[in-house]
Amino acid sequence: MSALRITHDVGSSVTVRDGDVDLFTYVYQPTTAPLESPKPYLHPIRTRRGEVVSLFRPHDHVWHKGIAWALPVVNDENFWGGPTYVHGQFYVQLPNNGVQQHEGEVALAAGERATISHELRWITETGEVLFAEERTLAAGTLSDDAWALVFDTRLRNVSEAPIAIGSPTTRGRENAGYGGLFWRGPRSFTGGALVAPGVTGSGDDVRGMRSEWMGFTGQHDDADAVSLVLMLDDSANPHHPPQWFARSEEFAALNPAPFFSEEVVIAPGEMARFRYAVGITDGGADAAPALAAELRGVLNPV
């Protein structure tokens, strides 16, 4: 594994660097508009060769931010951004766009693994705190062509009532179960291929299927290159293996969605944990099974 370096723009973001390539910048204190439900995000995200594999604030969905942990249905609150799905009315802009607010210090460590840890408060538009979150990101190289990110979050219900996390599908919209760790890919990835165990196809082919892992392979506009982004669900996550929300037709998106068709309810004072490994490689769909195997080892080292 290569040694990674960290640059901290205090009060704003952390950048993890591999040689002369910035693998990603994690913005923990965003300055985005309240309507977009401000939340930490990773962008830009690059392969070890330097190809960008993320998109920030696209005009069609300005609340999409590279890779972000975003939840559209938290009781009746929106921590995703933009309008809320209301059955019978479709999407309606409501006064319910919350914020994931960074709190306290950021703990950093660099070396063979780069780690970023901090705490957040999930605050509704009316000022109520629903969750206290502990979040850790850990990055490390896997090979000359690939690196991995582990995203680990613990959400504790600090309110006085149960909190139900769901999706537009749990509210009545068919096959729209997005929510959780969500990746938005570059424009040039539109029309790319989604790959899962035994399956290669489009978003229409795989959306809603259950699988331990899924990847997206796409082409870059300004280079003769193909890259693969793959996400692996931890076996201890609620509703494992998850249903997947994925798109390739309108845009590139990938999301292991534990709340796709069934809510996760967290009682007052209780905590729910979610862990994911994300692999980024300079390669195509044929690299997916081996990358998934490596990510299992990253999540559960012997």
Q: What is the pLDDT of residue 46?
A: 98
Q: What is the pLDDT of residue 13?
A: 98
Question: Dihedrals φ, ψ of 236, to 5°?
Answer: -90, -5
Burial of 169-203, coded b for 16+ CB within 10 Å and e otherwise, reads bbbebeebbbbbbbbbbbebbbebbbbbeeeeeeb
How far apart are the C-alpha atoms of 64 and 194, rounded to whole Å? 19
Task: Give the pTM.
Answer: 0.97
* Ranges of the chain with pLDDT below 70: 1
125-153 pLDDT tens trace: 999 999 999 999 999 999 999 999 999 99
Burial of 272-293, coded b for 16+ CB within 10 Å and e otherwise, reads bebbbbbbbbbbbbebbeebbe
Tokens of 199: 């399956």
Tokens of 96: 């319910």
Domain 5-299, CATH among 3.30.1760, 1.10.3470, 2.70.98, 1.10.760? 2.70.98
Give the torsion sign (CA, 162, 39, 116, 141): positive
How far apart are the C-alpha atoms of 283 and 147, rounded to whole Å? 12
The full set of domain ranges for the chain reads 5-299
Whether the CB-CB separation of 139 and 23 falls below 8 Å is answered with yes
176-224 pLDDT tens trace: 999 999 999 999 999 999 999 999 999 999 999 999 999 999 999 988 8
How far, CA to CA in Å, does 266 sit from each of 109, 172, 297, 301?
31, 21, 29, 29
Question: Which secondary structure element, helix H or strand E, spans residue 136, and what is its range?
Answer: strand 129-141
Q: What is the pLDDT of residue 157?
A: 98
Beta bridge partners of 267: none
